[in-house]
Amino acid sequence: MSLADVRADIVSACKTAGRKEDSVMLVAVSKFQPADRVETLLKAGQRVFGENRVQEAEEKYPALREKYPDLQLHFIGHLQTNKARAAVALFDVIETVDRAELAQALRKEMDKQGRDLPCFIQVNTGEEPQKGGVAPHDLPALYQTCKDLKLKIAGLMCIPPAEDIPDLHFALLAKLAAELGLKQLSMGMSADFQTAIKYGATHVRVGTALFGTRQEAA
């Protein structure tokens, strides 16, 4: 697929769902992709990107940002508190707030750096032990902590278990967001972004469908 194909699929999924064409933001997930491939998408007009490792993003993005100052970078991986400083300095949106300790570290760094980044809370909808994200029943307490810290929580994010049909996870995330009055939902990847749009995704995180298969380090 190409950028144009993915965008066309987003538009058609929006139409099918009776949603506005511009109600879904495409986050191009560029992890493991070299900077020149990212730049190909930048040249084609894509501006929003996602990375899951701070160090990799630090290696690729400062130079790209000099050329494309309106580029927006979303952090979508597990964030260690000792990387909060670097993440706040480089990224524009943190999608993976999943514990009070991290919320506190982000608040501290944002205050120090005079930045106030929008964040998402990552929810572990499948309650998988190896996966990041707050368990659904712990979400209200974490949301309250974030509110007390005056973190700007834009919405919720999830990564459904690979072996599940994603529909129930997307529906659950939408329900949890509605209960908290949160409007944005980051859900859906290459295999299921059209389904996610049906359930209300406002951000889809697409890697493979845009860039092809990743050369992942073992």
Ligand X SMILES: *Cc1c(COP(=O)(O)O)cnc(C)c1O
Q: Note whether 60 and 39 are within 8 A (CB).
A: no
Q: Which span sits near ligand X by CB under 6 A: 40-48, 64-72, 110-118, 207-215?
A: 207-215
Among 52, 124, 184, 202, binds ligand X (CB under 6 A): 52
Q: Is 7 near ligand X (CB under 6 A)?
A: no
C-alpha span between 10 and 22 (Å, rounded): 9
- The DSSP element (H or E) to which 46 belongs, if any, is none
Provide the mask over 144-163, with x wherever binding to ligand X is found by CB under 6 A and - wherever it is not. Answer: ---------------x----
Select from 2-10, 110-118, 141-149, 189-197 the region that touches ligand X (CB under 6 A). Answer: 189-197
Q: Which one of 31, 74, 83, 99 is in contact with ligand X (CB under 6 A)? A: 31
Q: Cα separation of 122 and 120, whole Å? A: 6
Answer for the pair 143, 151: CB distance below 8 angstroms, yes or no.
no
Question: According to CB under 6 A, which one of 42, 102, 156, 189 is a site residue for ligand X?
Answer: 189
Tell the smallest beta-carbon distance from residue 57 to ligand X (Å): 13
| Residue 106 or 196 with smaller CB distance to ligand X | 196
Instruction: Examine residue 205 and tell whether it contacts ligand X (CB under 6 A).
Output: yes
- CB contact set of 188 (below 8 Å; sequence gap of 6+): 166, 170, 194, 195, 196, 197, 201, 204, 205, 206
Q: How far is the CB of 169 from ligand X (least distance, A)?
A: 13
Beta-strand ranges (E) seen in 19-147 are 25-29, 48-51, 72-75, 93-97, 118-122
Confirm if 207 and 190 have CB atoms less than 8 A apart.
yes
Task: Say whether residue 204 binds ligand X (CB under 6 A).
Answer: no
Interaction residues for ligand X, span 72-101 (CB under 6 A): 76
Closest CA to 136 of 148, 116, 122: 122
Give the residue at shortest CB distance from ligand X. 207
SS3 assignment, position 60: helix
Instruction: Pick one of 3, 29, 106, 172: the residue that binds ligand X (CB under 6 A).
Output: 29
Interface with ligand X (CB under 6 A): 29, 31, 52, 76, 159, 189-191, 205-209
